[in-house]
Chains A and B, each alone.
Chain A
Amino acid sequence: GAVVSQHPSWVICKSGTSVKIECRSLDFQATTMFWYRQFPKQSLMLMATSNEGSKATYEQGVEKDKFLINHASLTLSTLTVTSAHPEDSSFYICSVGPSGFYEQYFGPGTRLTVT
């Protein structure tokens, strides 16, 4: 069964609005979760590392005020795209790397379309 879930699986929003994407670790407690973005026909690029109980660590070039990450519990991290623009349209995927396991488990992804 699924180890990591994401909600919603797809969302369409208008420019200027905010969208929240949830990532849940179903089988593991996750002090760290990762958020990736994938543009069409491109690779996954890490956006940020979500840390439970503390601030997220953003990769260079990712606007932390635009992509708000909250990791309030050991099983839930949320990514909020604020004031969305059409160029934010992408596939957003989260992952969990449980302690003691070498594998990283990915969520099914959320396809965001901003009109």
Chain B
Amino acid sequence: AQKITQTQPGMFVQEKEAVTLDCTYDTSDQSYGLFWYKQPSSGEMIFLIYQGSYDEQNATEGRYSLNFQKARKSANLVISASQLGDSAMYFCAMREGPGTASKLTFGTGTRLQVTL
């Protein structure tokens, strides 16, 4: 079974609108972390937001928020007030187990295109 599932290969959003990118995960660990990264055409991986499995509140970082629904095992990324510069690939990732010296497992990504 896929550990991280991103069901939207591509999404379009108009500038200044909000968009939700879906991510579901599968793990039997109690302690895990969920990440969202942005990858522009240059290839660099830009960290956006993190949610720990024990965090009770949804994470927010500026225009990014993570809609964490633990029982449903979903960790959707919400981008508010989209900008043209938000056009990129977005990857959801999971780290299983406690500590940071653990590998990340990535989803297949969603390509977001912001239009005028």
B44 engages A106 (CB within 8 Å): yes
Chain-A contact segment, one of B17-25, B45-53, B63-71, B77-85: B45-53
A95 engages B104 (CB within 8 Å): yes
Q: Which of B33, B43, B95, B102 has most chain A Cβ within 10 Å? A: B43
B100 engages A44 (CB within 8 Å): no
Does A32 interact with chain B (Cβ within 8 Å)?
yes
Does A8 interact with chain B (Cβ within 8 Å)?
no
- Say yes or no: A102-B103 contact (C-beta < 8 A), given A108-B43, A109-B43: no
The answer, among B43, B47, B103, for a CB contact under 8 Å with A103, is: B47
For the complex, give the distance between the alpha carbons of A52 and B40 in Å: 31
Residues in B neighbouring A97, C-beta threshold 8 A: 95, 100-102
Residues in A neighbouring B43, C-beta threshold 8 A: 38, 91, 93, 108-109, 111
Does A104 interact with chain B (Cβ within 8 Å)?
yes
Does A54 interact with chain B (Cβ within 8 Å)?
no
- Say yes or no: A102-B104 contact (C-beta < 8 A), given A43-B91, A109-B43: no
B35 engages A43 (CB within 8 Å): no
Residues in A neighbouring B106, C-beta threshold 8 A: 43-45
Residues in A neighbouring B44, C-beta threshold 8 A: 106, 108-109
Task: Across the interface, name the chain A residue whose C-beta is closest to B92.
Answer: A43
The answer, among B37, B50, B101, for a CB contact under 8 Å with A32, is: B101
Task: Across the interface, name the chain B residue whose C-beta is closest to A108.
Answer: B44
For the complex, give the distance between the alpha carbons of A103 and B45 in Å: 12
Residues in A neighbouring B104, C-beta threshold 8 A: 34, 44, 46, 95, 104
Does B105 interact with chain A (Cβ within 8 Å)?
yes
- CB B110 to nearest CB in A, in angstroms, measures 11
A and B contact pairs by CB, cutoff 8 A, 24 listed? A32-B101, A43-B106, A43-B108, A46-B103, A46-B105, A49-B103, A93-B43, A97-B95, A97-B100, A98-B100, A99-B99, A99-B100, A99-B101, A102-B52, A103-B35, A103-B50, A103-B100, A104-B95, A104-B104, A106-B37, A108-B42, A109-B43, A109-B44, A111-B43
B→A interface (CB under 8 Å): 33, 35, 37, 42-45, 47, 50, 52, 91, 95, 99-109
